Structure 1
Amino acid sequence: MSGFETLRVTRREPALEVALNRPARANALTREMIAELHRALDAAEADPAIRVVFLSGEGAAFCAGMDFVEAASCGGDEASLKQTVDSFYSLLERFTACSVLICASITGRVTAGGVGLIAAADHAVAAPGATFQLSEVAFGLLPATIAPFIIRRCGLHPTYRLALGAERIDAARALSLGLVDEIAEAPTEALRRFLIRAARVDPDCVSALKGLFRELWIVNEETRRVTAEAISRQILRPQTQEAIRGFLGQSSPPWKK
């Protein structure tokens, strides 16, 4: 499908394949990419033949989380920053509420916000070599926007431990925590097998099922407000901005110091 700059979107009925397509930047999330992910989801929901969105990443990483180049250039504009954070939260919320299934095919490195994309997905399959890391605290940040969705998958204390230690974990550990649902040498093929089973479920039932579990959990408007304020406040701290600039200046990542 045309009209996308940061994604590669291909319609292969009954799936819409959406690949994050900024490999030179490890598929880091920008305002534009988040907006395009919303548009891709709009297209999937508007097409009665599409039952699932297959989400993947081009290149060596699935997604490196927030694009620090964009974050460093925010110039202290809290309103603009909150708008971006809110748009990302809304995207993850849509993953957990829409009538199509969101399935993640994971190869390579997954960091910060990328972990949030996986946590909000309905089914996630990782290649054996995939790695996962909540690296935010190393920069003086918090995984605020994504935490509700990771807690939804893994539980409160396991999520807290991942955030506190900024530890990089392998696919086997991610599976044991419930962050991913399956490990497979060919994740996309494993997802296609999952689709054969999932396609039997009526889309209205999918939406109702997601709605039921949303009512049973903490993803709500108050959660949205708390997360947006927390992450915006931390990003704008001088110490955090200094850490981001240092990282962009090719110094060692903070977790290696």
Structure 2
Amino acid sequence: MTDTVTTRQDGAIRWIGLNRPDRLNAMNGPLVVDLTRALDAANADPDTRVIVLYGEGRAFCSGDDLKDIDSQTGSPEAAQAWIEAIQNVTRQIMGSDRIVIAAVHGWCVGGALEWVVNCDFRLFADDARWFFPEVTWGLFVTGGVTALLTKQVGPQVAKELMILGEKHDARMALRTGIAWRVCPADTLHAAARDLATAIIAKPHGSVADMKRAINAGFHSSLEDAMAIETEVTVRGFLSEEAQARVKAF
């Protein structure tokens, strides 16, 4: 366990929890660093077959912590480092030969929602609420979703979700395919464990090869999309208009 991320081993399942419940698990520097370390450790552990990513408390994650955003993006160098750290989590999830399950409840916003899109299976509780706020603030998305989500839902729906930035419920997540399944909030972790157990029953090498092959075929432009996202997100963080909008929010 760290200050901002919890980990526990449950057989071959590694549970990784975002742990800033007083801030709805909002993303700040320590959380991203701790999450990176937790994913590194899980990916290096031969006894871990499945990773479950979830949020402690009342939400999965409310996106960037706006109270700390100035400290992360106060200069071009700081903004670049911050976005690269966020993008590195995407690389760890998608490049892992473990299956990564997102167990989403409460609010799931912005960069955290983009991490969820990166996961192999996305379970949403029926109380989940989600949206992409970045364009509304004059910023930009991360996690390769300009490629991943567009291929998944089509360009028109991707534009609706990311340009309009409206708040949606779990049913919309299921309708668009962002959610794999929706379940009652009080059964979310049990459903994640059942799914993980079913995956663990399969041969690890075959599962890892299948994930790698599907990702290579479907997400071939991931790095190009992330490079564009990083450039535009850094520019947005340094924009006076975007800073004003974030502070007003």
TM over 0.5: yes
- How many residues are matched? 245
Can you list the C-alpha shifts for 1:216-243, whole angstroms capped at 9, x where unaligned? 2244433232111010101110011111
CA–CA distance in 2 between the matches of 1:218 and 1:155? 16
Where does 1:32-181 land on structure 2 (aligned, <5 Å)?
32-74=30-72, 76-147=74-145, 148-181=147-180
Unaligned runs of 5+ in 2: none
1:252 aligned residue: none
CA–CA distance in 1 between the matches of 2:174 and 2:47? 31
1:27 aligned residue: 25
2:212 aligned residue: 211
CA–CA distance in 2 between the matches of 1:176 and 1:47? 35
Secondary structure, counterpart of 1:62 in structure 2: coil
Contact 1:144 1:230 in 2 (8 A): no
**Equivalent residue letter for 1:111:** V
Offset at 1:146?
Answer: 4.8
CA–CA distance in 2 between the matches of 1:116 and 1:18? 17
1:250 aligned residue: none
Contact 1:72 1:244 in 2 (8 A): no
Contact 2:142 2:226 in 1 (8 A): no
Where does 1:199-238 land on structure 2 (aligned, <5 Å)?
199-216=200-217, 217-238=219-240
**Equivalent residue letter for 1:55:** L
CA–CA distance in 1 between the matches of 2:68 and 2:148? 24
User: Sequence identity, in percent?
Assistant: 24
Offset at 1:202?
Answer: 2.9
Contact 2:87 2:142 in 1 (8 A): no
Can you list the C-alpha shifts for 1:192-222, whole angstroms capped at 9, x where unaligned? 2212221133333333223223322244433
Contact 1:97 1:210 in 2 (8 A): no
2:194 aligned residue: 193
Secondary structure, counterpart of 2:74 in structure 1: coil
Greater than 6 Å deviation, 4+ residue runs: none
**Equivalent residue letter for 1:15:** I
For residues 207 and 90 of structure 1, do their structure 2 counterparts lie closer, same or farther at Cα, with a shift above 3 Å needed?
A: farther
**Equivalent residue letter for 2:70:** A
**Equivalent residue letter for 1:206:** V
Can you list the C-alpha shifts for 1:47-94, whole angstroms capped at 9, x where unaligned? 222111111111222111112222223463112211221121121122
**Equivalent residue letter for 1:242:** A
**Equivalent residue letter for 2:175:** S
Secondary structure, counterpart of 1:65 in structure 2: coil
Secondary structure, counterpart of 1:230 in structure 2: helix
Contact 2:73 2:237 in 1 (8 A): no
**Equivalent residue letter for 1:92:** T
Secondary structure, counterpart of 2:60 in structure 1: strand
CA–CA distance in 2 between the matches of 1:156 and 1:206? 30
For residues 103 and 166 of structure 1, do their structure 2 counterparts lie closer, same or farther at Cα, with a shift above 3 Å needed?
A: same
For residues 120 and 75 of structure 1, do their structure 2 counterparts lie closer, same or farther at Cα, with a shift above 3 Å needed?
A: closer
- For structure 1, which segment, 29-38 or 137-146, has the greater mean C-alpha deviation from structure 2 after superposition? 137-146
For residues 153 and 191 of structure 1, do their structure 2 counterparts lie closer, same or farther at Cα, with a shift above 3 Å needed?
A: farther
For residues 38 and 26 of structure 1, do their structure 2 counterparts lie closer, same or farther at Cα, with a shift above 3 Å needed?
A: same
CA–CA distance in 1 between the matches of 2:127 and 2:29? 29
Secondary structure, counterpart of 1:116 in structure 2: helix
Q: When the two structures are superposed, what TM-score results if normalisation uses the length of structure 1?
A: 0.88
Give the aligned CA root-mean-square deviation in angstroms.
1.8
